[in-house]
Amino acid sequence: MNSLIILAALGLIILFSEIFNFKKIIFPIVFAGIIAAIVAALGDWNNSASYFNNMIRTDNYAVSFSVLILFITLLWFVMSSSMFEDQETRTDYFSLIVFSLIGALVMVSFTNLIMLFLGIEILSISMYALAGSKKDNLASNEAAMKYFLLGAFTTGFLLFGIALVYGITGSFNTDQISEYIMSTGHSSSPVLIAGILLILTALTFKIAAAPFHFWAPDVYQGAPTPVTAFMSSVVKTAAIASFLRLFGSAFAGPSEFWIATLWVISAITIVLGNILAVYQTNLKRMLAYSSISHAGYMIMSVIALNEKAASSLLFYTAAYGISSLAAFMVLLIVSSKSGTEEISGLRGMFSKNPIMASAACIAVLSLAGIPPLAGFFAKYYIFSAALQSGYTGLVLIAVAGSLVGVFYYFRIIINIFESNVQMNDLGVNVFNKAFLLICSLLALLFGILPGLIIDAI
């Protein structure tokens, strides 16, 4: 809970750094603030307590996801320093990111549907503004507009669903909702089913799962690359974690019908995301489709709904977050030097930029799920959790989907190692090299020692 207060204070400090003229040193302040927030979050470990009239509970689930989100943001700040070069707008971007983190933390630690709604809104509104932060770029404006209109629309779905659930159960509290449904056996009430399905729709929109994924490719492609990386790592982690937290607690009782729905959504997402990614020639758009397909795998943990679900989801989001950050970093460097976001822009990268090329390969292989990298064990744990609950058919679809995934991920690697074309030295600075190295090492480390995360919760 203290981490929330630290982040809120940090956001205010950033805003006032412009007025009191200390925005030159704002980068170290943000860094220190987020590290302080991580430490504060870790202080709640094994020390579950409820705050604000049972609105928020800092159980181990909340703490582990909060720490993951803050840690990924820390890495993200290293990657996206180019976004904060403009003195005019840097404080705005910094504070928007920090405020969106508050939303993310609320989303993973709520015990009240109102807090879920507030968390999603705090996160989303910052992201709407950030998606359009390249003000003179038409694609960025379009991305912000699309994201905002569709996001606001689905927020209506969420509120409507919450209202219906409240109407039946008489409570916003997830424990009381679950208790009420269990004790009265109202699970077959059509109003409750409608409410749960509306909430499910809104949340699948936020994680960009098919058939609610249509906004994702355009928004991911149009938004500035650092913002896209943030959306596909931090925002996705927060959204799927809140999904599992809600459906694993409040609605775990009447699970048959929404698991059937999610089963289909997950299967469609995996198949569609992977197949559509094959046809993309734009690297950013391809990563967007890959991010959609990964949402499908993440949903499998919600479907599994057993004691392994939380830990496998944590591992998956960690592995995916780190790998996709590295992939977006490579895209950012290449596109800023060559001006193209096409996959062909990577041609012949290995000969002159071996470090970056290797990091890109590790990131892509981890996304594809090749052992011994983190992505492989992430998929392994999610699949085994789903198998344990008896969803063999879905796991078969998911495996077939990842095989399609390997195809387009390897296209990136083939382009990198192409020897006919020579790419110039991109002149990657030490900062970025260190970032790529850290991401690669983490992907390897989590792959070799998956117990570090998987045994955490």
Partner 1 sequence: METTSLPTDYFPIAIQFFVALGFVLTTMVATHLLGPKRKSKVKLEAFECGIESQGNARIPFTIKYFLVAILFVLFDVEVIFMYPWAVNFKELGTTGIIEMFIFMLLLLTGFYYIIKKGALKWE
Beta carbon nearer to partner 1, 91 or 269? 91
Name the one range near partner 1 by CB under 8 A: 8-16, 137-145, 228-236, 273-281: 8-16
Beta carbon nearer to partner 1, 47 or 184? 184
Residue 136 engages partner 1 in binding (rule: CB under 8 A): no
Beta carbon nearer to partner 1, 95 or 225? 95
Residue 12 engages partner 1 in binding (rule: CB under 8 A): yes
Residue 51 engages partner 1 in binding (rule: CB under 8 A): no
Beta carbon nearer to partner 1, 180 or 446? 180
Tokens, residue 326: 């590295």
Name the one range near partner 1 by CB under 8 A: 15-23, 234-242, 256-264, 429-437: 15-23
Beta carbon nearer to partner 1, 105 or 442? 105
Residue 18 engages partner 1 in binding (rule: CB under 8 A): yes
- Tell me the C-alpha distance between 97 and 12, whole Å: 12
Closest distance between partner 1 and the C-beta of residue 100, in Å? 17
Beta carbon nearer to partner 1, 16 or 27? 16
Beta carbon nearer to partner 1, 46 or 53? 53
Closest distance between partner 1 and the C-beta of residue 170, in Å? 8
HEC string for the chain = CHHHHHHHHHHHHHHHHHHCCCHHHHHHHHHHHHHHHHHHHHCCCCCCCEECCCCEECCHHHHHHHHHHHHHHHHHHHHCHHHHCCCCCHHHHHHHHHHHHHHHHHHHHECEHHHHHHHHHHHHHHHHHHHCCCCCCHHHHHHHHHHHHHHHHHHHHHHHHHHHHHHHHCCCEHHHHHHHHHHHCHHHCHHHHHHHHHHHHHHHHHCCCCCCCCHHHHHHHHCCHHHHHHHHHHHHHHHHHHHHHHHHHCCCCCHHHHHHHHHHHHHHHHHHHHHHHHCCCEHHHHHHHHHHHHHHHHHHHHHHCCHHHHHHHHHHHHHHHHHHHHHHHHHHHHHHHHCCCEHHHHCCHHHHCHHHHHHHHHHHHHHHCCCCCHHHHHHHHHHHHHHHCCCHHHHHHHHHHHHHHHHHHHHHHHHHCCCCCCCCCCCCCHHHHHHHHHHHHHHHHHHHCCHHHHCCC
Name the nearest CA neighbour of 205 among 279, 152, 250.
152
Residue 15 engages partner 1 in binding (rule: CB under 8 A): yes
Beta carbon nearer to partner 1, 64 or 169? 169
| Residues 418 and 348: beta-carbon distance below 8 Å | yes
Name the one range near partner 1 by CB under 8 A: 11-19, 106-114, 150-158, 339-347: 11-19
Beta carbon nearer to partner 1, 12 or 152? 12
Residue 16 engages partner 1 in binding (rule: CB under 8 A): yes
Tokens, residue 289: 């489709």
Closest distance between partner 1 and the C-beta of residue 249, in Å? 24
Closest distance between partner 1 and the C-beta of residue 127, in Å? 19
Closest distance between partner 1 and the C-beta of residue 160, in Å? 22
Name the one range near partner 1 by CB under 8 A: 14-22, 250-258, 346-354, 397-405: 14-22
Beta carbon nearer to partner 1, 169 or 415? 169
Given 2, 3, 17, 19, the residue binding partner 1 (CB under 8 A): 19
Name the one range near partner 1 by CB under 8 A: 10-18, 80-88, 160-168, 447-455: 10-18
Q: Which residues, numbered 256-285, are part of the site for partner 1 (CB under 8 A)?
A: none
Residue 166 engages partner 1 in binding (rule: CB under 8 A): no
Closest distance between partner 1 and the C-beta of residue 91, in Å? 10
Tokens, residue 221: 């492609």
Tokens, residue 118: 């507030």
Residue 99 burial by CB count (10 A; 0-12/13-18/19+): exposed, middle or buried?
buried
| Residues 274 and 400: beta-carbon distance below 8 Å | no
Q: How many residues bind partner 1 (CB under 8 A)?
A: 5
Residue 32 engages partner 1 in binding (rule: CB under 8 A): no
Beta carbon nearer to partner 1, 180 or 350? 180
Residue 190 engages partner 1 in binding (rule: CB under 8 A): no
Closest distance between partner 1 and the C-beta of residue 419, in Å? 54
Which positions lie near partner 1, rule CB under 8 A? 12, 15-16, 18-19
